[in-house]
A and B are shown apart, each in its own frame.
Chain A
Amino acid sequence: MSAPASPLTTDEGAHQQAQLDPTQPGRAPRSDGGSSYVPVQTRSERFKSTTTSDFPAVTGREIEWKFSPIAKLRPLIEGELDGGAWHYDTVATPGVSIAWVDRADASVGSAGVPEDRASANAWTSFERALAITIDGDEIQDLALERSRLDGAPRAAHTIITAKKHSRGHIVLHNSGAAQLAENVEIVVEDGADLTVVSVQQWNDDAIHLASHFARVGRDAKLRHVVVSLDGDVIRINPSVHLVSEGADVELYGAYFATSGQHIEQQVFVDHNAPKTKSRVTYKGALQGRGAHTVWIGDVLIRQSAAGTDSYEQNRNLLLSDGARADSIPNLEIETGDIAGAGHASASGRFDDEQLFYLQARGISEEEARRLVVRGFLAEIVQRIGSPELQTRLESAIELALVPEGAPS
């Protein structure tokens, strides 16, 4: 084994933590306003539990919460959640079964365990899980519309399973009112090929905290796409565990935050088997005062993951003053034997010179912004694999570009 003596770590979050408390670089608990708090040095050792009360009270200084608007999230992090069944609309598809299963069902917990308190609260609170199971060699398309949640705090649990060698394309489309904490488990069995698209077009006051856990089997492939456009606070954290040789994941995200919106994604790819591959590409546009986006990309390549190939990147386009994009790639490598590992992060302005250049060719300011933002997000939106949905989202992106106060 050619592993280095100590793990090579470029974890900016951990570095920052270390600066705050240089005497406690390891895993020793520290006192932080009365709450016991464990700084995490390696992502694999982050605390996990399905029970809310196992987590200490959230202060907002924790590594997983420090960018989030905690005050707005309290009801979901620590309040009581309605865990009953919720309404969805879909069209029956022969190769896909949808059923409510008991929380004691064997499939519950097969893809992951919560690493934050809101996720645990949802887990503790849900009564039955919605199980979507894909079987068969033919590609199965399913769109699930969730548009009739009420605005009361609630929990949800969804399990998407792609059986061995099956092929599926699942779209979860969210709209309407919501105050939702949920967990989505995604199991991609050996040889299966699954695309999961989650689209957020909630009402403007909606709050949505989601953890997606995926487990990708031998020579299986997962394409995971998150498109977040509308809602007050949207936080979707996908964790993908590549647990068998040849497992492959592509994670894409497109987001557009306008004035006052908070859109966050904490992506975790866990390479835990040889010859696994991951590609992470998230792109966001921001416009207006108080628009805030957060992207944290953790990639862990374990000792068991020789010959892996990984690359993660995040790009942000700031269209106006007063918007803020946080972007933190963390790459943690525990083996010296890798095929490739890299990360990139860049946030830039749609600056006056770009506007001048396009206008000098006769293009109006409005058209110029459309051109630039559409081009910027196209790389992601084109991955959705549904032309109809893609067109819908492109229109939604253009609508979000209309300056505040203008008739829309």
Chain B
Amino acid sequence: MSVLEIHDLHVSVETEQGKIDILKGVDLTVNEGEIHAIMGPNGSGKSTLAYTIAGHPKYHVERGSIKLDGNEMTGLPVDERARAGLFLAMQYPVEIPGVAVTNFLRTAKTALDGEAPALRGWTKDVREAMKNLRMDPSFAQRNVNEGFSGGEKKRHEILQMELLKPKFAILDETDSGLDVDALKIVADGVNRAKTETGLGLLVITHYTRILRYIQPDFVHVFVDGRVAEEGGPELADRLEAEGYDRFLTETSVG
């Protein structure tokens, strides 16, 4: 049984105005097979949490820990965290000119498994995963994220998640910019991955819309770098009705 445990996490970034503390003591435990929604207003630290778990060099862990099955992740290089079983579906995936999707996927799979996947089975897996996400086969020959529409980028992120089979995936605003049809396709992919691999999910979103298609087990509301409130799926419904104003008035904005 895998578990991702975040304890007393404090994170800062360097800016031109100096160091800014963004996360101010986050505690969160995600078990295998659970879906946790992280919600909150802009600037509350949701994406910082996502990138800190993945190990982006911009974010400095000041205090606290991120443990995957008891192993400390902070301090590990980004690729080692991925090999330990963490996956981040990015909000703004970058273009990699000249590198075809098929080559990229195979290189990643080889890096994660320590050996190249068996050709025939892998080709079939890729083809089926793409079909499920309603991606045209020609997509595999395109260069990574180059000229992709917003929806194609998000589907490509979920495609990677389905094929690379992480223990835990963090979806950073995967819903933003998607129309409802694309959102359903992406949500189906997430639910399929959960059914097939039993991974744990951290779904970061500003809106409750995606939670109609991906049912969370727990909802955490981030405000000013901390978890301000936690609950079950009903908390999302309440946020849908009330918005974040209730939380914002409790903190000094600005």
Chain B binder among A33-41, A157-165, A354-362: A354-362
User: In the complex, A363 Cα to B88 Cα: how many Å?
Assistant: 14
The proximity string for B residues 78-110 relative to A, scoring 1 for CB distances below 8 Å and 0 otherwise, is 110111000110100111111110011001100
Q: Cβ of B143: which chain A residues have Cβ within 8 Å of it?
A: 375
Contact across chains for B107 and A364 when beta carbons are under 8 A apart: no
Contact across chains for B79 and A365 when beta carbons are under 8 A apart: yes
Contact across chains for A375 and B82 when beta carbons are under 8 A apart: no
Given contacts A359-B77, A375-B143, contact A354 B94 (CB under 8 A): yes
Q: How far is the CB of A3 from chain B (nearest CB, A)?
A: 37
**A-contacting residues of B (Cβ < 8 Å)?**
54-57, 77-79, 81-83, 87-88, 90, 93-100, 103-104, 107-108, 111-112, 143, 160, 164
A372 interface hit (Cβ, 8 Å): yes
Contact partner of B164 (CB less than 8 A), chosen from A356, A359, A361, is A361
Contact across chains for A361 and B108 when beta carbons are under 8 A apart: yes
Listed by A's residue number, 10 A-B pairs whose Cβ atoms lie within 8 Å are A351-B94, A353-B94, A354-B94, A360-B82, A361-B160, A367-B107, A371-B99, A371-B103, A371-B107, A376-B98
User: In the complex, A353 Cα to B87 Cα: how many Å?
Assistant: 16
The A contact surface, by secondary structure, is helix
User: In the complex, A351 Cα to B96 Cα: how many Å?
Assistant: 10
**B-contacting residues of A (Cβ < 8 Å)?**
351-354, 356-365, 367, 371-372, 374-379
Number of A-B contacts (CB under 8 A): 77
Q: How far is the CB of B91 from chain A (nearest CB, A)?
A: 12
**Which residue of chain B is the closest to A364 with respect to CB atoms?**
B79
Contact partner of B82 (CB less than 8 A), chosen from A362, A365, A377, is A362
Contact across chains for A379 and B79 when beta carbons are under 8 A apart: no
**Which residue of chain A is the closest to B88 with respect to CB atoms?**
A360
Q: Cβ of B88: which chain A residues have Cβ within 8 Å of it?
A: 360
Q: How far is the CB of B60 from chain A (nearest CB, A)?
A: 15
Contact across chains for A378 and B98 when beta carbons are under 8 A apart: yes
User: In the complex, A365 Cα to B57 Cα: how many Å?
Assistant: 13
**Which residue of chain A is the closest to B81 with respect to CB atoms?**
A360
Q: How far is the CB of B24 from chain A (nearest CB, A)?
A: 24
Interface pairs A-B: 10 shortest CB-CB: A375-B98, A359-B78, A361-B108, A362-B82, A375-B99, A362-B112, A362-B111, A359-B79, A376-B98, A363-B111
Contact partner of B96 (CB less than 8 A), chosen from A358, A362, A364, A377, is A358
Contact partner of B108 (CB less than 8 A), chosen from A356, A363, A372, A374, is A363
Contact across chains for A359 and B99 when beta carbons are under 8 A apart: no
Q: Which one of B54, B96, B103 has the highest number of Cβ atoms from chain A below 10 Å of its Cβ?
A: B96
User: In the complex, A379 Cα to B143 Cα: how many Å?
Assistant: 12
User: In the complex, A356 Cα to B92 Cα: how many Å?
Assistant: 12
Q: Which one of B55, B79, B88, B143 has the highest number of Cβ atoms from chain A below 10 Å of its Cβ?
A: B79
Q: Which one of A354, A359, A360 has the highest number of Cβ atoms from chain B below 10 Å of its Cβ?
A: A360
Q: Which one of B55, B56, B93, B99 has the highest number of Cβ atoms from chain A below 10 Å of its Cβ?
A: B99
Q: How far is the CB of B48 from chain A (nearest CB, A)?
A: 14
Q: Which one of B77, B78, B81, B100 has the highest number of Cβ atoms from chain A below 10 Å of its Cβ?
A: B78
Contact partner of A356 (CB less than 8 A), chosen from B56, B111, B160, is B56
**Which residue of chain B is the closest to A346 with respect to CB atoms?**
B97
Q: Cβ of A374: which chain B residues have Cβ within 8 Å of it?
A: 98
Contact partner of B99 (CB less than 8 A), chosen from A352, A362, A372, is A372
Given contacts A353-B94, A375-B96, contact A362 B103 (CB under 8 A): no
Q: Cβ of B57: which chain A residues have Cβ within 8 Å of it?
A: 352, 356
Q: Which one of B57, B77, B111, B143 has the highest number of Cβ atoms from chain A below 10 Å of its Cβ?
A: B111
Q: How far is the CB of B55 from chain A (nearest CB, A)?
A: 8
User: In the complex, A229 Cα to B77 Cα: how many Å?
Assistant: 31
**Which residue of chain A is the closest to B145 with respect to CB atoms?**
A357
Contact across chains for A362 and B90 when beta carbons are under 8 A apart: no
Q: Cβ of A379: which chain B residues have Cβ within 8 Å of it?
A: 98
Contact across chains for A357 and B96 when beta carbons are under 8 A apart: yes
Contact across chains for A357 and B90 when beta carbons are under 8 A apart: yes
Q: How far is the CB of B86 from chain A (nearest CB, A)?
A: 8
Contact partner of B78 (CB less than 8 A), chosen from A356, A367, A375, A377, is A356
Given contacts A356-B57, A361-B111, contact A372 B96 (CB under 8 A): yes
Contact across chains for B99 and A364 when beta carbons are under 8 A apart: no
Q: How far is the CB of A56 from chain B (nearest CB, A)?
A: 43
User: In the complex, A353 Cα to B108 Cα: how many Å?
Assistant: 16
Q: A358-B96, A361-B112 are in contact. List 14 more A-B contacts (CB 8 A).
A: A352-B57, A356-B57, A356-B78, A357-B93, A357-B94, A359-B78, A359-B79, A360-B81, A362-B83, A363-B111, A371-B107, A375-B97, A375-B98, A377-B98
Contact across chains for A367 and B111 when beta carbons are under 8 A apart: yes
Q: Cβ of A376: which chain B residues have Cβ within 8 Å of it?
A: 97-98
Contact across chains for B79 and A375 when beta carbons are under 8 A apart: no
Q: How far is the CB of A376 from chain B (nearest CB, A)?
A: 4
Q: Cβ of B87: which chain A residues have Cβ within 8 Å of it?
A: 360
